[in-house]
């Protein structure tokens, strides 16, 4: 049996899914669509699977989430729908419920957050609600695991009985007449494509283009439906979509009047949230407070906590590598094989593993902000600023994550409902300076700008943001013409985060990072090692200047001559930086360190002027990201060609910016 878990955003859907499935779940994409779905196995029934569909507010095909949800229901035909409703906001949540009932599928309503309803002195007559809707209703509290077992048992009974909703007609007056008129016209067409006739009729009245196309109506039938809709609009004095919405909300209002008893119209959680929002979303303090919170989060992630864990991981990896080195030496393993294992695999993979604690800590922090409801506020606050460059407030969260790592930032664009906004955000995110570039900035500022470290660091970070803004404006006027979609977002009440949700979220992201990015870097590291270790005759070289990698660097170096640096070592460092940006510094160390001179002195000798150093840093800031990010971009765009075009586009911008910066810097230094 397959169950579809559907509900509004912030209705507790993820919490319920975790309670029903435990750890028996996996994350993937819908076939051919980059909208994320979760699938899990019911804990007490291994033959039952649950699909956690994206949070939506209606079954209209406006967003990619709504499209894939509707397609899954109509084409996948699950055995039962579990519709989760926020009982503290039942009027709004029931709007989706009425549309789901029209699908005539077996269905159970999970009335969530009943503990909060009771705590506020309110009550819901569950049996009466079930009778009026013709659907089984089970009161639950997903966060406290109350009623979840009963919900699972009820859903299985309904699915086995194949019992559809007992009531379908919620309309009256002109809307009622219009729906039933259209039903008679399209009945045979709806049966042919296996779509419930009433659902198809309401969608046609709303002006649903995909439904109209799939029904393949004749010109005369379309004209008749048009006249029916026009008459309804004229009689009601409103447009077609508003007429359907008014009909549903009128029924919901009458339903709640007899099924819901409210002593307090505003819950304690809502009152508390309003007081907090007076400060956190205020006109003057919202952004400064947000910056302070994020600075604290990044300090926690990259400072004492995350930094300490990363250092411990690095220390453990170093000790393991040294131990393995001794074992291989004592075993008299061939130099080439030993170099592959120690200099290639352990060195390359070790740098990624050492970064894993940082990823986990970052997502721990972001998961808490998301679970409390604060992230929704930030998207709301930033919406006005982002609209000036053609994006909506939802794009801010992925960009924010990009300061930590571009891989999860690219993955986070799945939350964007507009394909245009999603692609633009993916294109802009790599311009954000990720933490992997910090070692490059730190070493170069220490060697070349010891007295102006803060200024240089700040210029690099803000420079990346500035180039991203300029690029967004260009894209908004050319390739991605148009306006961002209207930004509709519910501001949920502030709640204490669920430790189970936070841990599962951290585990999902860590696992995804290891499985997807880690394997790619593993392969890339082996390739880079091979190019560094052998010449074109496949002889193992002791001098890296004779390697294939060096010859590639020498071949490409003329391209960088106009930027002020054309040494093959600098070019090689940029190439190895594609595996992981930290590799830029490790490559310089391998190529420049010698007993005769210090690394710092050798690095200074590598560049002819300070202008060349500034140019190199600018190019490093902006050129194409690491292979893990490129793989994530390819995965999200679903096209190797598009991702390759993006890489060339970004590297071209980096070259132009570095050239301009170099020429300007020559005038002053």
Residue 37 sits in a domain whose CATH number is 3.40.50.300
Q: How many domains does the chain have?
A: 3
Say how far apart CA 50 and CA 59 lie, in whole Å: 19
Q: Which among 237, 252, 286 is the end of a domain?
A: 237
110 and 205 belong to one structural domain:
no
107 and 200 belong to one structural domain:
no
39 and 181 belong to one structural domain:
no
Q: Which among 161, 187, 217 is the end of a domain?
A: 161
Residue-level pLDDT at 595? 60
- For β-strands 2-7 and 49-52, DSSP reports them as parallel
Residue 394 domain-assigned (yes or no): no
Say how far apart CA 206 and CA 239 lie, in whole Å: 9
96 and 182 belong to one structural domain:
no
Residue 247 domain-assigned (yes or no): no
Residue with tokens 């420049």: 592
Residue-level pLDDT at 594? 63
- For β-strands 107-112 and 25-29, DSSP reports them as unpaired
80 and 195 belong to one structural domain:
no
Residue 576 domain-assigned (yes or no): yes
622 and 646 belong to one structural domain:
yes
pTM of the predicted model over 0.85: no
Residue 624 domain-assigned (yes or no): yes
The domain in which residue 656 lies consists of: 526-668
The rounded Cα 201 to chain-centroid distance in angstroms is 35
Residue-level pLDDT at 154? 94
CA dihedral 41, 42, 45, 51 (to 10 degrees): -70
Which of 28, 170, 198, 1 has the alpha carbon at shortest distance from 82?
A: 1
212 and 146 belong to one structural domain:
no
Residue-level pLDDT at 30? 37
105: CB partners within 8 A, 6+ apart? 73, 77, 78, 80, 81, 164
Residue-level pLDDT at 488? 67
Residue with tokens 């633009």: 424
193 and 92 belong to one structural domain:
no
85 and 190 belong to one structural domain:
no
Which of 547, 544, 524 has the alpha carbon at shortest distance from 534?
A: 547
103 and 215 belong to one structural domain:
no
| Alpha helices for 114-196 (secondary structure H) | 114-119, 126-133, 148-161, 173-192
Q: Which among 109, 134, 161 is the end of a domain?
A: 161
Say how far apart CA 548 and CA 577 lie, in whole Å: 16
560 and 606 belong to one structural domain:
yes
b/e string for 7-41 if b means 16 or more Cβ within 10 A? bbbbbbbbbbbbbbbeeebeeeebeebbbbbbbbb
Residue 340 domain-assigned (yes or no): no
Residue 598 domain-assigned (yes or no): yes
Residue 490 domain-assigned (yes or no): no
The rounded Cα 327 to chain-centroid distance in angstroms is 43
Residue 461 domain-assigned (yes or no): no
Q: What is the DSSP letter of 266?
A: S
Say how far apart CA 564 and CA 542 lie, in whole Å: 29
603 and 530 belong to one structural domain:
yes
Q: Running along the chain, 669 residues long, what does each successive block of 10 average in pLDDT?
A: 89 86 56 59 86 85 75 89 92 92 93 89 91 93 90 94 85 87 92 90 89 90 92 90 90 92 74 85 85 77 71 80 85 78 68 69 78 79 79 77 77 72 84 80 83 79 85 80 67 75 74 64 72 81 80 88 87 83 75 69 86 92 86 80 86 93 88
Say how far apart CA 168 and CA 248 lie, in whole Å: 12
Helix (H) or strand (E) holding 27: strand 25-29
């Amino acid at each position: 049996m397959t169950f579809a878990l559907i509900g509004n955003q912030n209705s507790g859907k993820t919490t319920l899914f975790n309670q029903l499935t435990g750890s028996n779940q996996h994350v993937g994409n819908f076939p051919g669509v980059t909208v994320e779905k979760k699938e899990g196995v019911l804990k007490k029934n291994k033959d039952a699977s649950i699909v956690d569909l994206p949070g939506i507010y209606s079954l209209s095909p406006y967003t990619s989430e709504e499209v894939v949800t509707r397609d899954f229901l109509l084409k996948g035909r699950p055995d039962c729908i579990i519709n989760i409703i926020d009982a503290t906001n039942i009027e709004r949540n029931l709007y989706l419920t009425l549309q789901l009932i029209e699908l005539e599928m077996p269905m159970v309503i999970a009335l969530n957050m009943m503990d909060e309803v009771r705590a506020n002195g309110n009550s819901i007559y569950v049996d009466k609600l079930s009778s009026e809707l013709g659907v089984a209703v089970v009161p639950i509290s997903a966060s406290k695991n109350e009623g979840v077992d009963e919900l699972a048992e009820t859903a299985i009974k309904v699915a086995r009985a194949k019992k559809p909703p007992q009531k379908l007609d919620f309309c009256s007056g002109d809307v009622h007449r219009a729906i039933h008129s259209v039903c008679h016209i399209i009945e045979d067409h709806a049966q042919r494509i296996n779509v419930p006739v009433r659902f198809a009729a309401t969608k046609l009245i709303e002006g649903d283009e995909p439904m109209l196309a799939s029904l393949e109506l004749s010109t005369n039938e379309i004209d008749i439906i048009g006249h029916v809709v026009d008459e309804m609009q004229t009689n009601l004095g409103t447009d077609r979509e508003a007429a359907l919405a008014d009909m549903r909300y009128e029924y919901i209002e009458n339903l709640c009047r007899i099924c819901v008893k409210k002593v307090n119209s505003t819950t304690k959680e809502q009152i508390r949230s309003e007081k907090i929002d007076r400060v956190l979303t205020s006109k003057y303090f919202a952004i400064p407070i947000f910056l302070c919170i994020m600075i604290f989060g990044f300090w926690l992630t990259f400072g004492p906590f995350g930094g300490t864990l990363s250092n411990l991981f690095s220390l453990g990896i170093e000790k393991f590598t040294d131990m393995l080195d001794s074992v291989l030496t004592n075993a008299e393993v061939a130099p080439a094989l030993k170099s592959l294992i120690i200099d290639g695999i352990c060195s390359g993979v070790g740098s990624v593993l050492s970064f894993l604690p940082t990823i986990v800590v970052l997502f721990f922090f972001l998961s808490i902000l998301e679970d409390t409801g604060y992230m929704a506020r930030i998207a709301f606050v930033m919406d006005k600023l982002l609209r000036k460059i053609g994006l909506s407030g939802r794009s801010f969260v992925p960009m924010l994550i990009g300061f930590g790592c571009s891989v999860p930032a690219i993955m986070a664009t799945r939350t964007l409902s507009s394909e245009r906004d999603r692609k633009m955000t993916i294109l802009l995110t790599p311009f954000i300076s990720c933490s992997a570039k910090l070692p490059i900035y730190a070493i170069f500022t220490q060697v070349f700008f010891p007295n102006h470290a803060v200024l240089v660091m700040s210029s690099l970070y803000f420079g990346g943001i500035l180039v991203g803004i300029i690029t967004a404006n260009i894209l908004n006027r050319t390739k991605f013409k148009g306006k961002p979609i209207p930004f509709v977002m519910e501001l949920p009440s502030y709640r204490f985060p669920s430790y189970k949700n936070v841990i599962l979220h951290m585990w999902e992201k860590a696992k995804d990072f290891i499985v997807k990015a880690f394997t790619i870097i593993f392969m890339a590291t082996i390739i880079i090692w091979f190019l560094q270790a052998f010449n074109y005759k496949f002889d193992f070289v002791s001098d890296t200047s004779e390697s294939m990698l060096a010859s590639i660097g020498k071949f490409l170096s003329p391209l960088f001559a106009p930027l002020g640096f054309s040494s093959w070592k600098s070019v090689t460092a940029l190439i190895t930086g594609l595996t992981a940006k930290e590799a830029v510094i490790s490559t310089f160390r391998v190529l420049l360190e010698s007993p005769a001179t210090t690394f710092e002195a050798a690095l200074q000798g590598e560049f002819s002027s300070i202008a060349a150093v500034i140019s190199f840093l600018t190019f490093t800031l902006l050129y194409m990201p690491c292979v893990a990010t490129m793989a994530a971009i390819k995965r999200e765009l679903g096209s190797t060609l598009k991702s390759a075009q993006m890489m060339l586009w970004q590297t071209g911008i980096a070259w132009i910016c570095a050239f301009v910066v170099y020429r300007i810097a020559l005038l002053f230094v």
